[in-house]
Amino acid sequence: MRREGFGSGVRFLGMGLLVLLLTGFLICGCNYLLLDDSQSYTRLTMHELYESKEPIDTLFLGSSHCFRAYDPQLFTELTGKISFNLGSSSQNYDTSYYLLREAAKKHDIKTVYLDMHYKFLFIGKEGRDLVQANIISDYMPPSLNKLEFLTVTSEAKQITNRIFPFRREWKRLEDISYLCEVFEKKQTESYRNYEPVILEKEYYAGKGFVYSMEELDAKAITWWENFGLVKEDMDSDETYSISYIEKIVKFCKEENIRLIFVTAPSFDQYLETVGPYDLAYDYIKAMAESYQVPYWDFNLCKKEYLELKEESFKDVDHLNGKGAEEVTKLLAKLDSGQVEIDEYFNPCYDEKSLDR
């Protein structure tokens, strides 16, 4: 009787493991067929992060303003410090925090440059874009950090789509042509070997950086979007994004990581339209001072050190490759600690405007 009971238990356990194995295989298969990431920069960035044999010591975090502004390979050439750009589209500060923890597990990070774009400061948990957060978590291997990222930063209604990526495209299961197209793309050598994504006017240049050859034509813009950068936003009770900036500051202090707030430059005519920009600068500057963190806003650079015109921008809010080269060169000089930082920046944006 005891042997029969023991045997039944083993068979039950075996069946359970088999069901789990088949379920996992089915989930992986659905993810493979339903998610088209053949043109994803994030897939390449995350793969490089985990597969990098070099000990990364300088990390860039932020949204698309970040991964288009700071060229880690050029920065390494100029400083000798191995750097990596972990920026991603619409990256909010909660995502930056968990990416920082992820990178710090594998690498001995010495310096973090956190891009402080004002558009992301006042976004609440409900209002932020989860699309890119979902994509980033897709490429994280199982860990407690990933589990916390998925559960703590998600509402109950979002958790299924985050844990099971194929759920975002499950309605396409009946679209045989789509499934075949995705399968064919993922069978190519370029996809399987993680070769750089190359589009018509930009390409993935490595270590998280995207080089764009597109140039802004300001005359072609017939309207300028006003984001309503007003004082009411800064006086609001919304603290979700700020709370994660605080977590980043705390983590860096605990891990003895040098943290510097930076802001990638936007096209001046754009800032003058959506402004007054000094409201945003003063807000971030006060925050940086309260945390005792340096803040370098490249929108306030004196023109003798950084003068960016239309040909340096992809669009009004993002640098192209030429603009990123200029900003990275200046950042490398400031990073050295051998220069007087205040010499390079105007005390406010209004003063810079008067200087032009």
Residue 241: which pLDDT band, with cuts at 50, 70 and 90?
Answer: confident
Of 22-31, 116-125, 139-148, 302-311, least confident by mean pLDDT is 22-31
Helix (H) or strand (E) holding 38: none
Rounded to a whole number of angstroms, the CA Rg of the chain reads: 23
Burial of 90 per CB tally in 10 Å (0-12, 13-18, 19+)? middle
3-class DSSP state of 212: strand
Can you tell me the mean pLDDT for 330-339? 91
Helix (H) or strand (E) holding 268: helix 268-274
Give dist(CA 333, CA 192) in Å, integer: 38
Residue linked to tokens 């007054």? 276
Tokens matching residue 344: 């390079």
CB distance 95 to 125 below 8 Å: no
Start-to-end C-alpha separation, the chain: 92
Q: Which residue has the higher pLDDT, 252 or 18?
A: 252
3-class DSSP state of 288: helix
Give dist(CA 281, CA 271) in Å, integer: 11
Give dist(CA 229, CA 287) in Å, integer: 17
3-class DSSP state of 37: coil
CB distance 344 to 305 below 8 Å: yes
Close Cβ partners of 82 (under 8 Å, ≥ 6 residues apart): 54, 55, 56, 57, 58, 76
3-class DSSP state of 210: strand
Q: Which residue has the higher pLDDT, 231 or 223?
A: 223
Highest average pLDDT, of 5-14, 232-241, 245-254, comes from: 245-254
Tokens matching residue 135: 């994509």
Can you tell me the mean pLDDT for 297-303? 94
What single-letter amino acid sits at 302?
K
Number of neighbours of residue 70 by Cβ within 10 angstroms: 27
Q: Is the pLDDT of residue 227 over 70?
A: no
DSSP codes, 54-95: S---EEEE-SHHHHTT--HHHHHHHH---EEE---TT--HHH
Residue 11: which pLDDT band, with cuts at 50, 70 and 90?
Answer: low
Residue 34, sorted as left (phi over 0), alpha (psi -120 to 50) or beta, turns out to be alpha
Please state, for a pLDDT cut of 90, what percent of the chain lies above it: 53
| CA 75 from centroid of its chain's CA atoms | 18
Highest average pLDDT, of 22-36, 149-163, 289-303, comes from: 289-303
Give dist(CA 126, CA 18) in Å, integer: 39
pTM listed for this prediction: 0.88
Q: Is the pLDDT of residue 1 over 50?
A: no
Q: What separation in angstroms does the CA of 30 have from each of 35, 39, 40, 248? A: 8, 19, 18, 35
Answer whether CATH 3.20.10.10 is correct for domain 57-130+199-355.
Answer: no
Q: Are strands 209-212 and 258-263 parallel, antiparallel or unpaired?
A: unpaired
Close Cβ partners of 9 (under 8 Å, ≥ 6 residues apart): none
**Which tens digits make up the pLDDT trace of 70-121?**
999 999 999 999 999 999 988 999 999 999 999 999 999 999 999 998 888 8
| Mean pLDDT rounded to a whole number for the chain | 85
